[in-house]
Homo-oligomer: A and B are copies of this chain.
Amino acid sequence: MVRFGLLGCGRIGQVHARAIQASPDAKLVAVADAFDAPAQALAAGTDAEVRKAADIIEGDDIDAVLIGTPTTTHYDLIHQAARAKKAIFCEKPVDLSSERVRDCVEVVNQNGVMFLTAFNRRFDPNFANLQNRIAGGDIGDVELVTILSRDPSPPPINYIRTSGGLFRDMMIHDLDMARFILGEEPVTVFAVGSSLVDPEIGKAGDVDTAAVTLTTGSGKICQISNSRRAAYGYDQRLEVHGSKGMLRAENILENTVEMATQTGFARAPAQHFFLERYEAAYLAEITHFIDCLKNGTNPSPHIEDGLRAQILADAAAKSQETGMPVSV
Residues of A within 8 A of B (CB): 24, 45, 125-126, 129-130, 133, 138-139, 141, 143-144, 146, 148, 150, 188, 190, 192, 194-197, 209-211, 213, 215, 218-221, 223, 225, 227, 229-232, 235, 239, 241, 243-270, 323-325
Contacts and interface: CB of A to CB of B under 8 A. Distances in A.
Contact of A266 (B125, B227, B265): B265
A243 B141 contact: no
29 contacts: A125-B255, A126-B255, A126-B257, A139-B231, A141-B196, A143-B209, A144-B209, A144-B211, A144-B225, A144-B227, A146-B146, A146-B223, A150-B241, A192-B221, A196-B219, A209-B219, A227-B241, A230-B241, A231-B261, A232-B260, A232-B264, A245-B260, A246-B259, A247-B257, A250-B256, A251-B256, A254-B264, A260-B269, A265-B267
B243 A197 contact: yes
A197 B239 CA distance: 18
Contacts of A197: 143, 243
A232 B209 contact: no
A-B residue pairs, 10 tightest by C-beta? A194-B219, A232-B260, A245-B261, A246-B260, A231-B245, A265-B267, A264-B269, A126-B256, A264-B268, A250-B256
A269 to B, nearest CB: 5
Contact of A253 (B190, B239, B248, B265): B265
A146 B225 CA distance: 9
Nearest to A238: B257
A129 to B, nearest CB: 5
A142 to B, nearest CB: 9
A268 B265 CA distance: 6
A139 B231 CA distance: 9
Contacts of A267: 264-266
Contact of A232 (B138, B231, B265): B265
A320 to B, nearest CB: 11
A271 to B, nearest CB: 11
Contacts of A223: 146, 211, 213, 223, 225
Given A245-B262, A265-B269, A323-B325, 7 more contacts: A125-B255, A133-B259, A139-B259, A196-B220, A231-B262, A249-B258, A324-B325
Given A209-B221, A258-B248, A259-B133, A253 B243 contact: no
Given A129-B257, A246-B260, A256-B251, A196 B143 contact: yes
A200 to B, nearest CB: 15
A109 B86 CA distance: 60
A244 B265 contact: no
